[in-house]
Amino acid sequence: MNPPCFKSNNKHETSNPSEAGQKIMKISFLSSGHLPFDDRIFYHLGKALADAGHNVRITSSKADLKSIVENITMDCFAGDDLKKKEKIIRFCDTLYGFRPELIICSEPLPLIAAKRYKKKHAAKSRILYDITEWYPSKKNLVPFHPLLRLGIFIKLIIFNIYATRCTDAFIFGEWYKSRPYRFLFPDKPCKFITYYPDLRYLRYNNATLTDGRLRLSFTGKINFEKGFGNFIRVVKELILMDKDLNIDIKVIGWYENKNDKSECEKLIQSVKGNVTFTFSERLPFITFWESITDTDIFIDLRSDSLENNLSLPIRLFYFAALGRPFIFTDLRAIRHEADMSNFGFLVKPDKTSQIAQIILNYIKDHQLYHNHCTNARRAAEELYNWQIIRPEFLKFIKEFSSY
């Protein structure tokens, strides 16, 4: 009998069940959309399984990489220029050579490869679909002409349903993204394993505000949809409200197209006053988080579009782990998944003056700032960290592989 899909009550389950007696397996991660050192695939799921003694291999089509890192084999290829059929063949080739007993896929395309492998070579192997993204999402439709997007959207939905039929079980990163799959495939076993960070990889510093100085950061994809315009407008408002305030801003990310770059660079050039910008491109996982540990307040003012509203931002839990307050767009997914009201604010992203005033309140009220920093780190240590839910993940893998 298949177990129900349930969310761990991780506020109370803080002890680690014994991993003794766990069946040692060959486990393959396949991804056509994530880099080899993705935080979830490598640092969380992959490391947990490798540390438990399993033989783990990661195959991503986003980079040409062959190596062994922390007991995990990287067997990756650069597939961005390959057709879908060619990618499937490459994924199949690595499966044929490795012969895994468990395959964990992050997108529908690798599911097709896993199905072929299972049908031809390993009928007893199991397939898991780890769902952390909407599919299809807005980004899948961007390359197509607007008049074609509805047809492409329907086509991709059908493809995803077809591929999903191949999976034996699900892992869900969040509640809203699980709903279509739990509705369409109610009998398949599943488990909620969310995006909590592993605190071992994050360097924590006690927070201190310097009078007359504010350190901010904007990270990730740089465009208006991700909130860069709202962010810059808040910076401008802060300058108007406190002309003596010095603001240092780190921008770490990338532009997806020339139009985004042109629009955002014009915004940056329009900023006057005591504001300094430094720029970096995409950084490795650990280096990235180390580079923003000196941020005083984390601000993310992405648009409250339907897709964003129903998506839980991973970075929110990392902000807590770094022990800093946050100001974030008020999203339904955040309110559903976690109560973070004692160390941050959820806001309407276009309420520029209100957001700037919240920031100034932090600067003026050092006790409020200190309390929110302390509350954030405590929440990460007691509620929102990977070591709390890691045992439940391993337990699910053990139970699922023995069905």
| Domain assignments of the chain as residue spans, ordered by start | 6-196+386-401, 200-382
| Fold for the domain defined by 200-382 | Rossmann fold (3.40.50)
Please give the pLDDT value at position 13.
42
Count how many residues are written for the chain: 403
130 to 107, 146, 282, 305, 373: CA distances (angstroms):
8, 30, 24, 24, 32
Residue 136, preceding peptide bond in cis (omega within 30° of 0): yes
Residues 119, 196: Cα–Cα separation, whole Å: 35
Q: Into which CATH architecture does domain 6-196+386-401 fall?
A: 3-Layer(aba) Sandwich (3.40)
Decide whether 6-196+386-401 matches 200-382 in CATH topology. Answer: yes
Per-residue pLDDT of the chain (403 residues; tens, 9 = 90+): 344 565 444 444 433 434 455 678 999 999 999 999 999 999 999 999 999 999 999 999 999 999 999 999 999 999 999 999 999 999 999 999 999 999 999 999 999 999 999 998 888 899 999 999 999 999 899 889 999 999 999 999 999 999 999 999 999 999 999 999 999 999 999 999 999 999 999 989 888 888 899 999 999 999 999 999 999 999 999 999 999 999 999 999 999 889 999 999 999 999 998 999 999 998 999 999 999 999 999 999 999 999 999 999 999 999 999 999 999 999 999 999 999 999 999 999 999 999 999 999 999 999 999 999 999 999 999 999 999 999 999 999 999 987 6
- List the helix and strand counts (H, then E) for the chain: 15, 15
Cα 94 to the center of its chain, rounded Å: 26
Contact 94, 75 (CB under 8 A): yes
- If phi over 0 gives left and psi between -120 and 50 gives alpha, with beta otherwise, what is residue 356? alpha
Buried-exposed string 189-215: b where 16+ CB fall within 10 A, e elsewhere: bbbbbbbbbbbebbeeeebebeeeebb
Please give the pLDDT value at position 17.
38
Please give the pLDDT value at position 18.
40
